[in-house]
Amino acid sequence: MKDTKKNNVLHLNKKIHKTAIVHSGAKLGQNVEVGPYAIIGENVEIGDGTSVGSHSVIKGWTKIGKNNRIFSSVSIGQEPQDLKFDGEKSFVEIGDNNTIREFATIHRGTEDGGGLTKVGDNNLIMAYCHIAHDCHLGNHIIMSNAATLAGHVIVEDSAVISGLTGIHQFVRIGKMAMVGGGSKVVKDVPPYVIVDGHPASVKGINIVGLRRNGISPELRRQVKEAYKVLYRSNLNISQAIEKMDQELDGNPLVEHFLRFLRNAQRGICR
């Protein structure tokens, strides 16, 4: 029997290569492109203007937003690499305007981790990157080639994770932080700092990142003061938080810095 629903999907979108396999249950928006030999599974939703490169596989309960560029041989929505996973329904959500380069992998969530792996908007995920189950990424993040996130990692907005870097499970990478290439990160990385090494340690403030994100000189000065209190005063974290509360103006960057420190679960890079 002819699958009319599948034919309607193909007709509406018009840019699906004849060798691609698109399940009749998939939902594709307008002007979606699907390249040669790509596979789109039953429960996948892809928003308007997104392109999917050749040989890519998108499966599972995966929702992808608008105007994303997914290059060849990308894998999204496959089962998590977690021995506790038992086939339960779980999800991947990807926002708008992301670039996901060749051979990157993004896996579904697990029941223990809330069941969702989430990627925000305007991110650049370069070739061979891995985003494991239950990771949550914000917006304007750069992951360079072969950067890898273990399960349950949180990456805040405008962070940069350089190539060949490994991030331990449950680690948090703070806003506008930068992780140097080839680093091993086993503790939380506070906002606005640079870490590097094996294991990673703090090398200074990410001044270039702050400037690129339009942070004013005055706010940058206050971030420097917060950094000095935490890393140059020989105080423990609790003492440093108390001193910052007492002595620094409550600008949004410093307030975020303090919230991050208060919520650190694995300790922080020193």
Looking at this protein, which amino acid is placed at residue 249? D
Q: 82 an active-site residue?
A: no
* Selected catalytic residue, list 133, 140, 168, 256: 133
Burial letters 66-82, b for 16+ CB under 10 A, else e:
bbbbbbbbbbbbbebeb
Token reading at 81: 């690499």
Catalytic residue among 41, 120, 151, 180: 151
For the stretch 231-234, contacts whose Cβ atoms lie closer than 8 Å and that sit 24 or more positions apart, written own/partner, are 231/202, 231/270
Three-state SS for 94?
A: strand
Structure tokens at 154: 């949180």
3-state secondary structure of 13: helix
Give me 249's structure tokens.
Answer: 């103006």
Q: What is the rounded CA–CA span in Å between residue 65 and residue 80?
A: 21
Beta bridge partners of 201: 196
Structure tokens given for 266: 């694995």
Annotated catalytic, 249?
A: no
Give the Cα-Cα-Cα angle 15, 19, 20 (nearest 5 degrees). Answer: 60
Q: Is 133 a catalytic residue?
A: yes
Out of 82, 121, 134, 188, pick the active-site residue. 134
Positions marked active-site: 133-134, 151
